[in-house]
Amino acid sequence: MRACVGLLLWCFSALAVAAIDPVDFSQFEPEQAARLQARYHELNTILRCPKCQNQNIAGSNAPIASDMRRKVRQLLADGKTDTDIEQYMVERYGEFASYRPPVVRRTYFLWFGPLLFLFIMIGGFLTMLRLSRRNSQSDVQSEKDGEIR
């Protein structure tokens, strides 16, 4: 049984490796190349494919996604920073292109909205709990009153 689970897990990890497309940084020294590879894969996961509803460019088959990956590779080889590259894409494709929207006034609702919503719901739930308790208490009260009478 444990062997089966282990085998399944191993299969999934193999899938993850296969999904990464090998990219060529061979003109750099191996250490440098390895770092660029890592940044390449990282950037591909935080950039959104403009033609897809909700996929990063790492996971999308769309032609524009592969164009963007190629561009990322080129910009990395040119020595640009991760921020430069993200900025480059956002300049052309808008904030939609990044899975990390900035935390500025107009995106406060995006970032904090769900949390706020959660608090309101918890508040509502607790209020309802208190109300029902109060109701059942007054029921007990009127029962007692009823007994005295």
Partner 1 sequence: MSRLLLFIPLCLFAGLGIIFALSIGESPQNAANAMVGKRIPDFTLPGFNLKQSDPKSQDYTLAQVRGIVSVGEPWLINVFASWCAQCYLEHGFITRLSEQVMVVGLNYKDPPENAGKFLTELGNPYNLVLADLPGDYAFDLGVSGAPETFLISPDGQILARHAGVIDRLVWDQKFAELWRQYSEPIFKE
Residues that bind partner 1 in the complex, under the rule CB under 8 A: 50-51, 53, 62-64, 67, 71, 90-97, 117, 120-121, 124, 127-128, 131
Task: Judge whether 98 and 47 are in contact, CB under 8 Å.
Answer: yes
CB-nearer residue toward partner 1: 38 or 120: 120
**Burial (CB count <10 Å: 0-12, 13-18, 19+), residue 47:** buried
Least distance CB 54 / partner 1 (angstroms): 9
Instruction: Report, in Å, the least distance between residue 35 CB and partner 1.
Output: 25
Q: Which DSSP symbol is given to 80?
A: -
Q: Is 49 exposed, middle or buried (0-12, 13-18, 19+ CB in 10 A)?
A: buried
The distance of closest approach from Cβ of residue 63 to partner 1 in the complex, given in angstroms and rounded to an integer, is 7
Cβ nearer to partner 1, comparing 9 with 122: 122
